[in-house]
């Protein structure tokens, strides 16, 4: 079945450490997204990519970095510069960025600080 796989499901980070969240899709979608969700809040866009080797900052990109070397993969690195990284992270993809076709979501990764 086609879908989006996020790993790991749970991740712990020590102070001053960078961690990378994986997102892989086999839907042949061009666009991919990373969102952060905090308790009781909606989704906030961290980064998005409309095509391979290109990505754009979202509303809360500071302290995060991404790469898009392959169409299927869009990993998110939470750097030590992100001072409040504890949150639920959702990866999504869509056929393209600007159509009625919906975004498809992975199951998410919960990141906590040790």
Q: Site residues (CB under 8 A) for another protein?
A: 31, 33, 40-45, 48, 50, 56, 58-59, 88, 90, 92, 96-100, 102-103, 105-108
Decide: 8 and 89 in contact? Cβ < 8 Å: no
In the complex with another protein, the residue whose CB is nearer, 84 or 99, is 99
In the complex with another protein, the residue whose CB is nearer, 75 or 97, is 97
Give the distance from CA 59 to its chain's centroid: 13
CB of 72 to another protein, least distance (A): 19
Backbone angles phi, psi at 6, to 5 degrees: -110, 140
Residue partners of 93: CB distance under 8 A and separation at least 6:
4, 25, 27, 29, 31, 32, 33, 74, 103, 104
CB of 86 to another protein, least distance (A): 15
CB of 62 to another protein, least distance (A): 17
């Amino acid at each position: 079945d086609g879908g989006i796989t996020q790993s790991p499901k749970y991740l712990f980070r020590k102070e001053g450490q960078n961690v990378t969240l994986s997102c892989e899709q086999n839907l042949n979608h061009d666009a991919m997204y990373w969102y952060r969700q905090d308790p009781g809040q909606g989704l906030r866009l961290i980064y998005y990519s409309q095509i391979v080797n290109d990505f754009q900052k979202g509303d809360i990109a500071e302290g995060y970095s991404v790469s898009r070397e392959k169409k299927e993969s869009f990993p998110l690195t939470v750097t030590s510069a992100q001072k409040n990284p504890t949150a639920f992270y959702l990866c999504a993809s869509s056929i393209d960025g600007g159509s009625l076709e919906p975004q498809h979501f992975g199951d998410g990764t919960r990141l906590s600080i040790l």
